[in-house]
Structure 1
Amino acid sequence: MARRALIMVEGSMGNGPLYVQAARHLGLHPITLAADPAQYGYLAGEGIDAIRVDTENLDALIRECSRLRGTYRIAGITGFPTPDESVYATVGDLCGYFDLPGPSPASVKQCCDKFIQRQLLAEAGVPIPAYRLAVDAADVDTCAAEIGLPVVVKPAVGGQSSTGVRLCREVDEVAEHTAYLLGGKHIWRSSPRILVEEFAEGQFYCANTFGNDVIAIASAKFGPPPHFVFLEYTHPAPLTDVEYKRISNVSLSCLRALGLGWGPTNIDLLWTKHGPVVIEVNPRLAGAPESKLIQLAYGVDLVTEHIKLVIGDKCCLQRRHSRTAAVRLLNADRDGNLDRIAGVSRAAAVSGVAEVELYQEPVTPVVRRGDYRDCIGHVIASSPSLAQTEVILQRAVDLIDISITPFAAHGEQKSASAQSRSGSSFAGRGNQAEDQS
């Protein structure tokens, strides 16, 4: 009998290895189709079959999957939002072609366009910030004036994990960031379209849904503006029953408005003076390490359950326990050469620490971009209470020393050792750096 295969379109340095492990645990043979398989280091490390194919070409993907069906029985197809969210819509098209369970490609496509997403949410009465669409610098200036400063300026399509997103408090900052987005440094996969939004202030939350159920709600902290770089995620968010219900109701309203409700979705919200306001809906599983936090906090393995859904098996989303799990994301506080990372083994040995992982090795250059790529590593901790988990996290982070030598200025080398105590959303991971403790 032919082996059952799970086809994964593109990869993910965060969730990718988790999908590989879960697929094998379920008796599936994982196969990755990617435009550049070499960029996903875990594929070679795990011995995964990786096939080079143009993942933006649906016909090419259909041909490759048809060829694979000569050797394997394709149990399911899924994928990752790399190089952009539209890949997940292509996954939906592939699933439809081969009559396999999958997301609605039309719903995913309209969700991936942030302007269309906001139009649909607004029409459904979902609370969102004021917004305008611009196509050039003059448009951006007009939109910012209409909404009123401060505003958030971001790409209307793409912009994963805060890429290209900036808070602009002054007219000059609006012009500067617009020039960056339109000046060739930001990669556009279609004609440039810029979203200008009202700056909503409040505590950040992320609702993780599966099907039409809210599975978990996390709270998060950002680094300093003007960028939106995550520092910490905590499950469960410290909410009252009333707050939890309001966030849950708004999140489910998003699913209805956008035609979602198949598989995992994550929804970013802020609790403002008017209550929960939706910032963004992502029609996919949240990036790692959030799935690890959910498993530590509740005993629910969303990666495994997603694969079960993809292959047509029955899912089990029942919580098995209740703990607090949190991640601190480590971020460099300066540009320069990453010389040394010490204390990793000591941090990992702290009681209650579930994982310490680094994404870069010494000696490598570090150039901060104000998004997920700034991240050097993370520390995850879990305990029965929020207070205890926060103490464990801080104790572990205090043991890690990240030494960065700033790039030479005016021909003179300046040295400094920086303790990295902050971070961003999860980035791609490299090999773990040598622990020099």
Structure 2
Amino acid sequence: MARRALILVEGLSTMLRYVQVAQHLGLRPIVLSADPTRYDYLAPESIEAIRVDTGNFDALIRECSRLSATYDIAGITSARESFYATAGKLCRHFDLPGPNPTSIERCCDKFVQRQLLGEAGNPLPAYRLAANAADVESAAAEIGLPVIVKPAVGGGSIGVRLCRNVDELAEHTAYLLGGKHVWRSSPRILVEEFAQGPYYYADIMGDEVIGIGTGDFGPPPHFVFREITLPALLTDDEHQRISDISQSCLRALGLEWGPTCIEFRWTKLGPVVIEVNPRLGGVPGPQLVQLAYGIDLVTEHIKLVIGEEWDLRKKHSQSAAARILVPDRDGILDWIDGVSRAAAIPGVVEVKLDVEPKTPIVRKGDHRDWIGYVIAASSNLAQAKATLQRAVDFVDWSITPFPTRGEQ
């Protein structure tokens, strides 16, 4: 009898977790990637990573067909938003459970997403679509500075900036259109009103809101997370308002299958939708859900993908918080210390580092700036945050700035 396999088309930070869960469920995880070397960290798990042009749908069909001669393909998915629609199309082709690829594609185009959400009456920041510098300038003048300027298609806050004046607007527009930004589609820029207020996000599976968390960012003009907390301290009415809008967004976008993460700002007018992401929240979001409620979102997603019944019942209720470790300068990382002491503190769940000493640090103003994170959990939020701060205080590092031209 052929072994059951789970096909994973590319992935990002959650890839390792998907692989581990698949193995736990008795599946053989197989990664399809245009560059399998990016998943070298899977080597200790003895994971098969096959080189295939993941941008070529026919090539993916051929590879999955070839694999089906050896394995019983139980499901196909992706841990990467930009390939999730492709995974959905493969599911349709091979008659497997999967998301609606058209819905995913519409959602991944932030302008189309905005249009569909607005038509359904969901609260949004003012926005305009721009194709060139003149369009950007005109849109910003109509909306009023400050504005958010970002690619219409993209993720991880890459290319997203707060532009507070005309100089910052011109500088970032020139960056996006001047060949430095890597576009996933034809260059189209979204110019948005800067919705000011506390940040919240909703973790959703199917049409059920699992939890609502909150986050803080580093200094503008970038949007790099510094701390994430679950659950957010909300009144019952506030929680219900975010839940109601979340479900309205799902209906408007046709996303009532699988995982979704919706981001909000609570402005003076109430909650405003910043973005709908047709995927799980990135690391460490799923870990916080598991700590807070005992629900493993990756496990339940894979169960859905392979046609098994999921279980979204909360096993317990506690608070979880994560601090993102972000360098304050560019240069060479000399050393990083205090990790074992931080990890030994009661209530600290994980201390994760993504860099080694002697690594060059070049900040980009997005999620790629992360060098690690610390997670703590407790029966109450105040204790979780106090534990987190105590652990973070132990972690220290030194970065030697790159030499200036005159010093070389």
TM-score bracket for this pair, using the shorter chain length: over 0.9
Aligned residue pairs total 408
User: Quick one: which amino acid aligns to residue 53 of structure 1?
Assistant: V
Partner of 1:369: 364
Partner of 1:79: 78
Q: 1:137 aligns with which of 117, 127, 133?
A: 133
Contact 1:37/1:43 (CA < 8 Å) preserved in 2?
A: no
Give me the identity figure in percent. 68
Separation of aligned partners in 2, 1:349 and 1:409: 40
Separation of aligned partners in 2, 1:400 and 1:366: 17
User: Quick one: which amino acid aligns to residue 5 of structure 1?
Assistant: A
User: Quick one: which amino acid aligns to residue 86 of structure 1?
Assistant: S
Deviation at 1:253, TM superposition (A): 0.5
Contact 1:34/1:54 (CA < 8 Å) preserved in 2?
A: yes
Contact 2:336/2:357 (CA < 8 Å) preserved in 1?
A: yes
Contact 2:18/2:79 (CA < 8 Å) preserved in 1?
A: no
Partner of 2:18: 19
Q: 2:202 aligns with which of 207, 229, 242?
A: 207
Matched, 1:306 2:301: yes
Partner of 2:218: 223
Partner of 1:240: 235
Partner of 1:5: 5
SS of 2:311's equivalent? coil
Deviation at 1:225, TM superposition (A): 0.5
Q: Which runs of 5+ in 2 are unaligned?
A: none
Task: Give 1:40-79 correspondences, 5 Å limit.
Answer: 40-79=39-78
Separation of aligned partners in 2, 1:237 and 1:189: 33
SS of 2:31's equivalent? strand
SS of 1:161's equivalent? coil
Task: Give 1:242-281 correspondences, 5 Å limit.
Answer: 242-281=237-276
SS of 1:6's equivalent? strand
User: Quick one: which amino acid aligns to residue 58 of structure 1?
Assistant: F
User: Quick one: which amino acid aligns to residue 326 of structure 2?
Assistant: N
SS of 1:411's equivalent? helix
Separation of aligned partners in 2, 1:410 and 1:155: 33
Superposition RMSD in Å: 0.8
Separation of aligned partners in 1, 2:371 and 2:44: 21
Separation of aligned partners in 1, 2:373 and 2:209: 26
Separation of aligned partners in 1, 2:145 and 2:406: 40
Partner of 2:35: 36
Partner of 1:109: 105
Separation of aligned partners in 2, 1:57 and 1:43: 24
Deviation at 1:172, TM superposition (A): 0.9
User: Quick one: which amino acid aligns to residue 93 of structure 2?
Assistant: Y
TM-score normalised to structure 1 length: 0.92
TM-score normalised to structure 2 length: 0.99
Separation of aligned partners in 2, 1:190 and 1:324: 40
Deviation at 1:189, TM superposition (A): 2.1
Contact 1:9/1:78 (CA < 8 Å) preserved in 2?
A: yes
Separation of aligned partners in 1, 2:175 and 2:150: 11
Separation of aligned partners in 2, 1:80 and 1:178: 30
Deviation at 1:47, TM superposition (A): 1.1
Partner of 1:428: none
**Can you list the C-alpha shifts for 1:284-307, whole angstroms capped at 9, x where unaligned?**
111111101100010000000000
SS of 1:40's equivalent? helix
Runs (4+) of structure 1 exceeding 6 A deviation are none
Separation of aligned partners in 1, 2:272 and 2:386: 30
**Can you list the C-alpha shifts for 1:164-197, whole angstroms capped at 9, x where unaligned?**
0000010111000000000111001221000000
Deviation at 1:410, TM superposition (A): 3.7
Deviation at 1:161, TM superposition (A): 1.4
Separation of aligned partners in 1, 2:15 and 2:185: 26
Matched, 1:396 2:391: yes
Q: 1:183 aligns with which of 154, 178, 184?
A: 178
Deviation at 1:43, TM superposition (A): 2.1
